[in-house]
Structures are given as C-alpha cells and as structure tokens.
Chain A
Amino acid sequence: MSIDRERVLDVLDRAHSGPAYRDRDFNVKVVAEALAASVKKYGLARTCDPENPVNRDDDLADRYYRAGFDAAVAIGLYCKNTSRVIRFNEQEVQSAIDAAPREFWLGEGNQRVLYQHRRPEDPKLPVWTVPLSIAVTEDVALPLIEGLARIAEVDALEGPSLETIWGRPVRSGSPYEHLAGYYQAQLMQEGIRRAGRVGMPVDAVGSSTTHYGVLGGFGVEGGYRPKHDLILILSIADFWTSYESLFKLTHAVVTGGSYISASSWCMLGGWAGGPEGTAVACIAYTLLLVATFQGSRTGVPPFDIQYMGNCGRRAQWAMGVANQAVSRNTNLVVHSINNQVAGPCTKMLLYETLVGMTNMAASGVSNVVGTRSAGGRLTNYLTPLEHKFGGEVYKAAAGMTREHANEIARRFVPKYEAQLPEKPNGKSFQECYDVERMVPSPEWQRMYDEVRAEAIEAGVKLK
C-alpha cells in the first residue's frame, strides 16, 4: 500500500480554499455547537454512567457513531496556518473509511506484526506498542530501549523521546530536532539489535514534535523504513491541524511511506464539553483523520483536563463508548492511548493500566500505545516493568466481555480515583531499577507481583 498522492493534493487544496474562520469562532461556533447539536439529535445527553465506566450497550454505541459521523461532516479540520477548514461531505468521509485497510503488516522477518481490525470482545490478539514519547536522558535511552524491546509482550516501539542530543537540548522546530529524528532512529535500531529483535516495527518519529524530526529520521539512509515502520502524524487537539502535520503527510508521499498513524486528543471539559460531547468528538475526529491523513491506524482518545489523564470514570466511559462505536461500525484499525497520571513504583500506575487496558481490549481497540508513566511529565520516569504489565493485561484481555471489563473498572477505579488530582510521581528509572542488570528494585517488583495477583483474582487470565 502507498499513500495516495492525489488525495494528499486534494487535502492541501482544501486547506487553502475551505471556509475561513477566526480561531475563536471555529472553536465556539463550529466545534462546540456541532457537537452539542449531535448530542441533542441522537438523545445522548446524560448517557454517561460513571458508576459503570465501560459501556455495554451496543445500540448506544451505534447512536454515538452516527452522532460522530454527522459531527465529522459538520466540523472538518481547522488548519491553523491558513485559518481555513478542511471539510468533507458524507460520501467523502465514507469513501475514506472504506479505503482504509482492515489489516496490514509492519516490521520484517520474524518480527513482523499484523495490525488488524478488532470488534468489541474480539478474541483476536491486539498489538502492544511501547513506550509513549516520554523524555529520557541520553545515558539511559539505549538501556531503556533494549529493556523495553526485550519484553515478550511488546510488539513494536514508539518512544522514548530524547531530552538532549549529544548534550544539547532538543529544541522543537529547530535544526536540533532534525538531527534528533536521525539520532533517535539509530538508537532505536541499536536497542532493538541488542534485544535480539531485529526487524521490529517502530512508530516514527517519537522525538518529532514538529515535522523536522520526521524529515530527519524517516526514509533516510540509516533511518526509519518507509515500508516497515509507521509514520506518526499527531494533530493538535480538538479538530485543529497544521502545516507541521501536513508536512509529515507529504513526507510520507516523497519517501514512499506505506502506513500512517493519524491520531490526536479530545479534551474532556474543553470545547467538546462533558463526557458525551467528548465521546462524539473522539469519533468525529477519528473519521476526519482517516479522511485527511489516510490513517491506517487511527484513534482519538479523550484527555480529562481536570487531572490531565484518562483513567477516571468519565474519561474511561467516553473512551470505551467511542472505541466501541468506531470498531462496531467500521473496519478501521483502531488505536488508543491509556493516559495514566501516576509514576513508576506506585501501585496506582498499575491499577490505572489494568482498568484502561481491559476497557480498550474489550472495546475493540486494535493497537494501544503506552504507558504514559507519570503522565509523561517527568524525565526518566518510565521503566520496563509497567510496560510488561500493560502488555500482559492487554493480550490476556483479548476476548474479554465488556461486562467483565466493567466489573474490573468498578473494582479498581476506587483504589486510585481520589489520587488522580495529586498525580503521584513515584520514582525514576534509576531510582527503582538496577540499570546494569535491568531488573526492578525489590519494592517495585513487589508492587507488580501484588497487583498482578489482584488482576488474576479479578479474572484476568495472566499467564
């Protein structure tokens, strides 16, 4: 598969000829009003059930899908550079969905990975990609990448991202970022080689805040592989996009890139309003990313601005129903992200992971990227252990019913929800790992063992 250049040109044309808006008017008069209208039209107001964070109602999920589809057509994507909206009609949105692959392979040799459409409660194994682009220092980057790639449940890599390159800060949008894209590709390949997993696919480029990192690292000699790695296009939250994202799209065209990961966020409490509007927004934005960026792996998780994560009841509910809506009504390879706020060496991080991963597995998500250890706030606050746990739970939850996932959420959310605003940092990689031997500290290992036992007791079939 290759990226359709004519569709790319059409998108660029729309970004320069679509209806013009002021920033504020697009947010208030287009996004907020269209989402509110969709919620009203499909009778979705107050359908969020915080007591049951995982939706089990197919009809409700399908109504959400229709609301999201309508909203996608009404809203479009606002290009901040041109102040114009890239908008599609119903047939165009549907054609883009139909043209997206229902499955595809990435990687090489015995490390090839099948990304495939899943439906809610689907027994097909999902794909686990680690970690998110959490900043790390150069001294720990390589050991961490190797340690993560050694985890059997890990299928692909995305982060971490580099805080510095050769001792210099990676200033986004600068030539440093351009170099960082290339430098990170080399570190990734070396870490993968040391782990004995040559050929493993990578989401490229984790250190590319703007397009410069992608230009430096993707499709260049010694960099990421256009036929075997995903090119990451992460748009601005809540229906905005930019030249930075469009440059990544055109770079996929000129380098012969095959598959695009198009994703973003919708802010719960932001322009979308409460959980119902946010779920509709997540669906609408997902469909627009498919239409705009030809996303092969696409998803828009919610992000609750109250605590900057999505493991609380309202966000889990919105995430579950939105994922079910898309996975039930399309053949897309749905992508999502669990946004924990607690850091390594806390039980809370593992509880957040348990709730989020079972919800996503049961709701038809094909590929989760995680873990957002310590909310991604702190340099070097991630370890291999929480990623091992995330993968174990995600794979074990393939085939899990939504009823069961909901029981897990009801049981474990109360263990941490009061601490969501406090965001416990936990400990850094160096503080809770023996970096030389790549083993967790006894304290962190004990927490893992205890939460793992709790998960098994709750019916998660961990090996």
Chain B
Amino acid sequence: MFNFRTLTIIKRELREKILSKTFILMTLLVPVFMFGILAFQTFLIAYNGENSATLLIISESSELTNSLRKDFGEMSLVKNGKYKIDFETESKSEIKNKIDGLKNKLLADKLTGVVFIPSTALKDKRIEYYSKNPGNNDLFQKIRGTINQALVDNYFNNKQLSKADIEYARDRVDFNGFRISSDKEVKQANDGATIISMVFSFILYFSLMFIGMMMMRSVVEEKNSKIVELLLSSVKAKELMTGKIIGTAVTGLLQMIIWISPLIVLISSSLFVIPAEYMPTLSIGQIFYFLLNYFVGLITFLGLFATVGAIFDNEQDAQSGIWPIMMLVMIPFFISISMLKNPDTLLANVTSLLPFSSIIVMPARMSLVEIPLWQFALSIVVNVATMLLIFPFAGKIYRVGILLTGKKPQWSEVFKWLKY
C-alpha cells in the first residue's frame, strides 16, 4: 500500500494543501478568531464595570448617614472617581418634595438615582431607589454590600458584639471549587479547564469539518475533471485514496499542532505567565492523547468525506449527500458544549467512548474531569477499530464510485457497489 506511487500522491496533496491560500489563512485566522472571542468577552465584562454613576443617598438618621459616608469612602469605585455619591439626612415626609426638586437633574442624567434609606430599613432592610432606570441591577450589585454593611453595623452597634462577630455576620458564603483527582494534591478548579474544554471542542469540530470538506471537494474535482482515470492508469484506487487521505491528514495535524502550540508552550514552560485561575491543568500526556485522537479521527472522517465525494460527480450533489457525515461531527460537538455545565452526566460518559463521538467528546471531557486511564485506552481502541472497519467499505465505494459519472446515484445503488 505504501510505495512510491502513494508517496507521490501524498507529496502532491501536501504541496497543494499546505501552500493553498485558504489553508494558510485558516491556520492563522482561527487562533486570532478564538482569542478575539475571549478578548471580546473580557472587554464586555470590563466595559460593564466601567459604567459610572452619580448618586444621592438619603437616610433618616445622621448617624447612619455618617457611617454610610465612611463605608462608601472606602469603596474602590468611589475612590477612583467612577461613582460620585452625595449623602444627606432627610425625614421621610420631605422625600417627595426632594425628589420633585431633583426631577430635572434625574431626567437629564446628571443624577443617576436617589437612594432613600428610611428608618424602618434598620429593621427590615427595605430601601427605596428613585431613577429613570429603576431596575439597574448592575448598580444594585455594586452598592448593596456597602449599604448592608452600614445597616448591619448600625444594628449590632448597641448589642455588645465584637467587631469579629459583626464581620462574620455580614460575610456572605463563598464557594471555592476543588477538583478531586488521583494526584496527591487537591487542585483548585479554575476557569482554565472550561476554556480549554471549549477550545478543544471548537477546534476539533472546526478542523474536522474544514479539512473534511476540503477533502470532499478535492475528490469531486478529480472526478469531475476526469483526471481520476488518468491517475488510475498509474496508481491503484486504494493507493490514490490512501495517498490523498494521508497527505490531507498530515496537513490537518500540522494545522492542529500550530493551533495548540501556544497551549503546549504554556503548560510545558514558564515563558508565559497567566493568572492561576486561567492556567489549564493539562499534562503533556493529555496533549499527546489529544493529537493522537485527532489524527485517528481525522483519518476516519477523511475516509468518509472522500467516499461521499467519490459517489457524486458535482459539488452540489456532494454537499447535499454529506449531511449524514456532518451529523457525526455536529452531534458530538453539541454534546461536548452541553457538557460544560456538568461534565459527569451519563450521556457524556457514554459518548466519550462511542465510535465517532468520542473523537470530540473525550478531549473536551478530559480537560474538565479526571478520566481513568482505561477510558483513554478504550477510546483509542474504539477509534482505531472504527477506522479499520470503515476502510474496506469506504475503499470499495470509493473505487467503484470514482469512475461512475452520469446520473446521481441512489443510496440503494451505492450499497450495491459493495458487491461489484
């Protein structure tokens, strides 16, 4: 199967694919696109935080007003000038007039809102907010804690409690996730795992689709332009198919290595330092598994894409005939995205070991939870077995289909080809 003929085909494929503009563009653009999305999200969150506000906080007791002024004075948003807050003491009966007097300022956005803390709030913590935009959750989020702090301090002030007691009472419950693995240390889980899982699902999905379609188009082109008969006068159909698939798979592998090389550098050296909460917890072994799994999966899918390409003699028919294969890539992709919420569902466990789906689901899962070694081994065995099982059939359909032109064949006819 591997001889100079196959090698010549591989060489041609490599040259054509690696030097093609689409390939170079995709190789460079996908990381830019991925980082772009991450950066855009970060930017959006940061932008939200940039909102400034001008507030007037009114309470009924001067004592509370003073402690509010003191507590807000320590808030970073006030310190850096984003929030400008004035404090006043008024009685409840004056509020209505006060608001009426401020109406124009409120409507003109010179004043974002007025917070009124009635004396009843010292018992029930119910306060009032007057604004053009009274449902501003972002703002509530930011000032709620500080107001609560002032109210709590005030409430316990006369109750002979230590500062530590008050501190404890006003603290909120904080979840810190820890990932349990067989490693000796218990590592703190972080956002890095989620990001890596997303990145893995996305690049696997994208690459299988992109390289697969490239393969299909190339087979259709050879068939459509009749060049295939000339090729078959020099090489066997099997050699042609093998050469094309290996050439294309090596191209894909190269692209994948380029795409994840930043990750490899990140985890294997200290050249770059990123915040610990984003640091992925991957081992070099897992990266190696990822690449091996991708290579086996790619070869399997390329066989399928090439076979569909060989069945049809024009791109339109081939596009409409490729959907069963595309489903095999898309469904696992959706499963692995849904897994981000809970990576340990039955669906995730099973699909990470099934033929085809494990190619995308397993790498996405391994970055979220600890996977027993036997499961890695099983998924590789399953994928290699799938590949070996598919090729005799794919090869046969390819061999027959590649020389048949004319009317678009029915699927039932394609199955008959297996007997030719």
Q: Do A and B bind each other?
A: no
Interface residues of B (CB under 8 A from A): none
Interface residues of A (CB under 8 A from B): none
